[in-house]
Structure 1
Amino acid sequence: MRLMHGIGAMALLFILAGTPAQSLARDADQYQALKQFSQTLDLIEKNYVQPVNRTDLIHGAIQGMLGAIDPHSAFIDLDKFKMMQEEFQGEFGGIGIQIGVRDRRLTVIAPIEDTPAAQAGLRAGDIILEINGESTSDMSIEDAVSKIRGPKDTSVTLTILHTDSKAPEKVTIVRGIIPLVSVKTRELEPGYLLVRITDFKATTTADLHKKLREYTTKTPLQGIVLDLRNNPGGLLDQAVSVSDTFLRDGLIVYTQGRDPQSRQDELATAQSTDITCPMVVLVNAGSASASEIVAGALQDRKRAIIVGERTFGKGSVQSIIPLADGSAIKLTVALYYTPSGRSIQAEGIQPDIEVPLVTNATSAEESSMLRREADLSRHLDNPNGELGKSPENDVQEILGRDNQLRLALSLVKSLPHITQIQAR
């Protein structure tokens, strides 16, 4: 009712102000569309074979409207909105994957490290055909997430088509508690630190600064390998503040909506926590959204060398807009652009050095399917420490099976020498 009243009042105002005939024709078209919607709603309520709830019909219509726009705009009911808040602010029960829509199919953007999804062998690019036997062909991302999530120790069965498979397979995964830990570090060599960001949560930048502070109080930092592979993104402000950690000033990213006046620039500022050592950033097809903002900013500003594979290509910005009944809509309101003005929507970030992940023994896809005792839920810990290995041996094993990381370490160690040569 309020919608109808608002349109009527606006139309009257246009008439009194001498609105051109073209605007009046547009208003008439709007009335006709609303009349068609009202008629359809009335016909369903009076003639459908079973009684229907008007609120459910309205919510379904809103979902249909938003679903017709793009894969990321959606209707969010109250329960789903709470679920989204849990994802960014606290632990939740689930399997640990980020999903999106690619070519109209529900697709795994990336499994989160050390979660049931990763342990079950789900990989970036996998297509989810069914959730507990229900087809995902017309399912929104929000509906899919709500069906995949659930209490710890319950299970969900996904029908998955791997990118290198011709036939789908059913995978039953026991849900666990998905923690908020998004920053992990490991010393590759004295002074050279691997920083792995798995996604961008509310605490990501604070966690990053804490990890860097703990390391630099003991060892002078000579180089960083920032690993954003299979990082599906998250909060825009965290992508900006993470980028700001490695930039002293200048543009990080800007967003641009339909209105030319809506451009918003995000700028770096000088801080005591700024990191100025040489950097290499690792990316792949599972690097999306916020991780692409970071990679694009550091690439355009020539702050880091980007190594790996072309990223996912999600360059749109969504806003959550509350509705009167406590529900909300998630609406795509802008695209984001790298400092040089690149929109990476559906294009992604092209690495400076493109190199696929290849392990010594097998392909990257095959190796991700292998499971060991340490991958099993509730496995017994080794009494001699983590996996019974020294940190040095553990690092050598990681470098031995990750050609991208080996290249990144070699590059970050060479960057000071290369910079000196270029400066001559």
Structure 2
Amino acid sequence: MTRSKLRAVALVGLGMLFGAGLSGYVQSAIAQPGAVAQAPRPAPADYSRYRKLDMFARALTILENHYVRPVDSEKLIYGAIAGLVAELDPHSEFLPPREARLLREDIEGSFGGVGMVVVLRQETEPQARYVLEVREVVAKGPAERAGVAVGDLIPSIEGKPISHFFDLRRAIMAMRGQPGTKVSFVLERPAPKVDGKPGKPSVRTVVVTREYIDSPAVTSRVLGEGLGYVRLRDFSETSGREVSDALATLRDQSRDGLGGVVLDLRDNGGGLLDQAIAVVDLFVNEGPIVRTRGRRGELLDEARAVPGQAWSKLPLVVLVNKSSASASEIVAGALQDHRRALIVGERTYGKGSVQAPFELGDGSLLKLTIALYYTPNDRLIQASGIQPDVLAGADFRPYKDSQPELEPERAQPRHLKPEDFGYPAGALQDDSEAVRAAGEDAQLRVAVQHLRGMVRVPSRGGRRR
């Protein structure tokens, strides 16, 4: 098997960058399958695809000739194709040329934007509305120079409320554009609470000039005591190499050498599958990394580790949260199955499906779900996610949901339910015998989880024999 067969894009969107790549809100993966899945059952003898197409052509002609106002035939056809895939699952979709271009820009990781990561949020107080919440500001980008800060809210873009854009992608399209052009948006900065009540926010209109944003996928820093921290924002075209370079830099910067690393995959919505494989391969010396299975669980592809990696014995902890999706879940699941890392955080999003892009000839794309991802132990990621070894919420309380507004994949009305065909889905919760024995003692439960993690992952790294 060659890795080119498994090259895939997990385009996601729990937070999208206005000029820095992809992060957050899970949306999709693009793959090129290495084999053809089992053929579907033949249609009934009296079925005629061409008869149905004739019906569509008749309906289109009636609309063109009799609707009260002139219609745009291209928009009608685009809408019809979008309706076809809307009956499938949340990640199969039709992208007209402009939206398809946005997807390609996200894959390449460099485009005209303002340089911030946002998520879509619905508010009910003091009034019902949709806003964009700034989760990250790209260093030295236009947004940072304009004074945008994490936690700021954007209620409107170019004079239009966020609800006007229907979804996050359309809001992103309004913010992106040719470098050198300007975009304006209203920025709200929440005020501190007074006597438990929210203060009046400061509101101003910000005008920024779009630039090419080419933010690095990886950031790192020395924590001290021989420990390092690496954050992986998304899986773009050079992420594997950037992680490797970051580890080498941390080793050189650490006085006593690099004794262990925290790999932060929180809010990482995915990216290129081959880069997820490359990241796992840095830490695993042998065995499978990820499997792709099609209809009825048929194996389409399997990626395997290449021996001789420099970091295969480095002690490793991986941080995940609800926004860790797709390629992030592949990495966390592979390292967990190989007992190569301790997984800490929250149960991940559960986006384990593979989408293939089909060009339609005019710049538009049909993105269609063709397969599902499985971990090395054949655990199904789809709608199940990865359960961490140690459950940790957003603060020091025993557990606090980091993003209560975010519904996971399994909550989506049309999500692909885990038909595992004999391959188990991931654990729905940490319900092991030892954890159950801890009862309602939250501190004991956390202690047991840590102890189980220490038993699962040897102190010097490597797979347990």
* TM over 0.5, shorter chain: yes
Aligned 8 A contact 1:109 1:288 in 2:
no
Q: 1:197 to 1:21 in 2, by over 3 A?
A: closer
1:23 aligns with 2:50: no
SS at match of 1:357: coil
Alignment equivalent of 2:161, drawn from 114, 129, 133: 133
* 1:358 aligned partner: 395
The Cα of 1:80 is off from its aligned counterpart by 2.7
SS at match of 2:295: coil
The Cα of 1:132 is off from its aligned counterpart by 3.0
Q: 1:327 to 1:420 in 2, by over 3 A?
A: closer
Query: For 1:187 and 1:277, how far apart are their aligned partners in 2?
Result: 15
The Cα of 1:100 is off from its aligned counterpart by 9.2
The Cα of 1:269 is off from its aligned counterpart by 0.8
Residues 136-172 of structure 1: CA deviation (Å, up to 9, x unaligned): 79x466545423434675234699xxxxxxxxx9997
The Cα of 1:254 is off from its aligned counterpart by 0.9
Q: 1:236 to 1:73 in 2, by over 3 A?
A: same
Partner AA of 1:332 in structure 2: T
Aligned 8 A contact 1:293 1:338 in 2:
yes
Q: What TM-score do the two structures reach when normalised by structure 1? A: 0.68
The Cα of 1:99 is off from its aligned counterpart by 6.4
The Cα of 1:245 is off from its aligned counterpart by 0.7
The Cα of 1:354 is off from its aligned counterpart by 0.3
Aligned 8 A contact 1:109 1:232 in 2:
no
Partner AA of 2:224 in structure 1: E
The Cα of 1:278 is off from its aligned counterpart by 1.0
Aligned 8 A contact 1:245 1:274 in 2:
yes
Aligned 8 A contact 1:98 1:232 in 2:
no
Q: Mean Cα displacement is larger for which, 149-158 or 73-82?
A: 149-158
Q: 1:350 to 1:100 in 2, by over 3 A?
A: farther
Residues 288-307 of structure 1: CA deviation (Å, up to 9, x unaligned): 11111111111111111111
Query: For 1:283 and 1:351, how far apart are their aligned partners in 2?
Result: 8
The Cα of 1:236 is off from its aligned counterpart by 1.0
1:43 aligns with 2:72: no
Partner AA of 2:228 in structure 1: L
The Cα of 1:214 is off from its aligned counterpart by 2.2
Q: 1:254 to 1:134 in 2, by over 3 A?
A: same
The Cα of 1:364 is off from its aligned counterpart by 9.0
* 1:13 aligned partner: none
* 1:369 aligned partner: none
1:92 aligns with 2:112: yes
Query: For 1:41 and 1:68, how far apart are their aligned partners in 2?
Result: 20
1:235 aligns with 2:235: no
Partner AA of 1:56 in structure 2: K
Partner AA of 1:300 in structure 2: D
* 1:256 aligned partner: 293
* 1:180 aligned partner: 215
Residues 189-211 of structure 1: CA deviation (Å, up to 9, x unaligned): 14211111111111111111111
1:292 aligns with 2:321: no
* 2:75 aligned partner: 56
- More helix as a share of residues: 1
SS at match of 1:349: coil
Query: For 1:171 and 1:256, how far apart are their aligned partners in 2?
Result: 51
SS at match of 2:393: coil
1:334 aligns with 2:354: no
SS at match of 1:263: strand
Q: How high is the sequence identity, in percent, across the aligned residues? A: 37
Aligned 8 A contact 1:97 1:108 in 2:
no
1:154 aligns with 2:183: yes
1:221 aligns with 2:225: no
The Cα of 1:183 is off from its aligned counterpart by 0.7
Residue pairs, 1:90-129, within 5 angstroms: 90-94=110-114, 96-97=116-117, 111-112=135-136, 114=138, 119-121=149-151
Q: 1:22 to 1:184 in 2, by over 3 A?
A: closer
Kindly report the root-mean-square deviation, in angstroms, between the aligned alpha carbons of the 2 structures. 4.5
Q: What TM-score do the two structures reach when normalised by structure 2? A: 0.62
Query: For 1:284 and 1:183, how far apart are their aligned partners in 2?
Result: 18
Residues 65-95 of structure 1: CA deviation (Å, up to 9, x unaligned): 1223222222223333332222232243145
* 1:209 aligned partner: 244
Query: For 1:341 and 1:108, how far apart are their aligned partners in 2?
Result: 38
1:279 aligns with 2:325: no
Query: For 1:21 and 1:267, how far apart are their aligned partners in 2?
Result: 36
Q: Mean Cα displacement is larger for which, 47-56 or 241-250?
A: 47-56
Query: For 2:55 and 2:121, how far apart are their aligned partners in 1?
Result: 30
Partner AA of 1:343 in structure 2: L
* 2:362 aligned partner: 325
